[in-house]
């Protein structure tokens, strides 16, 4: 075969992508990458200094993907070093530790830092995000449950995986889905395909479930003032029931939220004449 034709074909099949890892210090970013690339786990904590860079090759369908991985340091001290590396990423691995709520709460500020550093042409829509709820092997210390993490991720159109760099759980599945989505996006002209963003539930449903989880009492849960009348309680209940009914709502955590609303209404009505 003509060598130029052959080269062109090979070029079409091979792809180069850049991915970065983000999340608080010590959540397991480097260990997740090491588990995937080197098939091993390092129990001792060796903080990443600024940034670690590595290259790996993966096969997605008929394409060979050359992946440049920039593993960021989570410590605020290294902000000045990592801020330059956000640009031109096709994929982001967002990691939190299921045993540390503050590392989950920090995900929003990682997205904010990223947006800020990418500048005005930042288009977060055309980046594939995968959220790793890491250290699931440490079941006893878990404080952020699956539905809460999944809701946060899926309401933003991000993938969600439960992972353990220690046992290897979820790691290969996560990377496979991640690289496959990045390839789909590249083949779609660099745009995230719409199926990636379509999550099957609304922002209102996601926000309501989050609000219910964080409510301080039954009044607060139903969104009525303490001392509200039976009619007001029932009206608020009906609105939430329509929004969250398990037959209609597929958002993670909707079933628990629906049950909590039913219970809140029952307990309030008991005490209202």
Question: Which residues of the chain form contacts with ligand GTP (CB under 6 A)?
Answer: 23, 25-31, 42-48, 73-75, 134-135, 137-138, 164-166
The minimum distance between CB 159 and Mg ion, in angstroms, equals 21
Q: Which does 26 bind (CB under 5 to 8 A by kind): Mg ion, ligand GTP, none?
A: ligand GTP
Q: In this complex, which beta carbon is closest to ligand GTP, that of residue 23 or of residue 253?
A: 23
Structure tokens at 242: 């329509």
Q: In this complex, which beta carbon is closest to ligand GTP, that of residue 5 or of residue 46?
A: 46
Which residues contact Mg ion (rule: CB under 5 A)? 29-30, 48
Please report, in angstroms and rounded to a whole number, the separation of the first and last CA atoms in the chain.
Answer: 88
Residue 196, H or E segment = helix 194-197
Q: Which does 164 bind (CB under 5 to 8 A by kind): Mg ion, ligand GTP, none?
A: ligand GTP
List, in sequence order, every residue forming a beta bridge with 128; answer none if it has no partner.
91
Q: Which does 181 bind (CB under 5 to 8 A by kind): Mg ion, ligand GTP, none?
A: none
The minimum distance between CB 116 and Mg ion, in angstroms, equals 21
The beta-strand segments (E) located in 166-246 are none
Q: Which does 137 bind (CB under 5 to 8 A by kind): ligand GTP, Mg ion, none?
A: ligand GTP
Phi, psi of 96 (to 5 degrees): -135, 165
Q: Of 252, 271, 265, 254, whose CA–CA distance to 223 is shortest?
A: 265
Phi, psi of 213 (to 5 degrees): -60, -40
- Interatomic CA distance for residues 235 and 27, integer angstroms: 43
The minimum distance between CB 248 and ligand GTP, in angstroms, equals 36
Q: Of 144, 126, 121, 125, whose CA–CA distance to 134 is shortest?
A: 144
**C-alpha distances in Å from residue 159, one per residue of 92, 155, 156, 196:** 11, 10, 9, 9
The minimum distance between CB 98 and ligand GTP, in angstroms, equals 9
The minimum distance between CB 97 and ligand GTP, in angstroms, equals 8
Q: In this complex, which beta carbon is closest to ligand GTP, that of residue 110 or of residue 258?
A: 110
Q: Which does 49 bind (CB under 5 to 8 A by kind): Mg ion, ligand GTP, none?
A: none
């Amino acid at each position: 075969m003509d060598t130029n034709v052959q080269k062109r074909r090979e070029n079409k099949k091979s792809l180069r992508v850049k991915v970065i890892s983000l999340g608080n210090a010590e959540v397991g970013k480097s260990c997740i990458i090491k588990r995937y690339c080197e098939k091993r786990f390092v129990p001792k904590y060796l903080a990443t200094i600024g940034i670690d860079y590595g290259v790996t090759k993966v096969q997605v369908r008929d394409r060979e993907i050359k992946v440049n991985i920039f593993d960021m340091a989570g410590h605020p001290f290294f902000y000045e070093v990592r801020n330059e590396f956000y640009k031109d990423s096709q994929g982001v691995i967002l990691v939190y530790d299921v045993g540390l709520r503050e590392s989950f709460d920090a995900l929003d500020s990682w997205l904010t830092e990223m947006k800020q550093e990418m500048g005005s042409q930042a288009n977060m829509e055309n980046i594939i995000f995968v959220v790793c709820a890491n250290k699931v092997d440490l079941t006893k210390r878990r404080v952020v449950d699956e539905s809460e993490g999944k809701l946060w991720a899926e309401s933003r159109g991000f993938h969600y995986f439960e992972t353990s760099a220690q046992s290897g759980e979820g790691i290969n599945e996560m990377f496979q889905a991640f690289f496959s989505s990045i390839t789909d996006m590249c083949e779609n002209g660099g745009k995230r395909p719409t199926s990636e963003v379509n999550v099957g539930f609304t922002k209102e449903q996601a926000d309501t479930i989050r609000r219910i989880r964080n409510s301080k009492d039954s009044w607060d849960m139903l969104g009525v003032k303490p001392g509200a009348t039976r009619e007001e309680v029932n009206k608020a209940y009906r609105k939430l029931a329509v929004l969250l009914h398990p037959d209609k709502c597929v958002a993670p955590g909707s079933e628990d939220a629906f049950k909590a609303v039913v219970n809140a209404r029952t307990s309030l009505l008991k005490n209202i004449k």
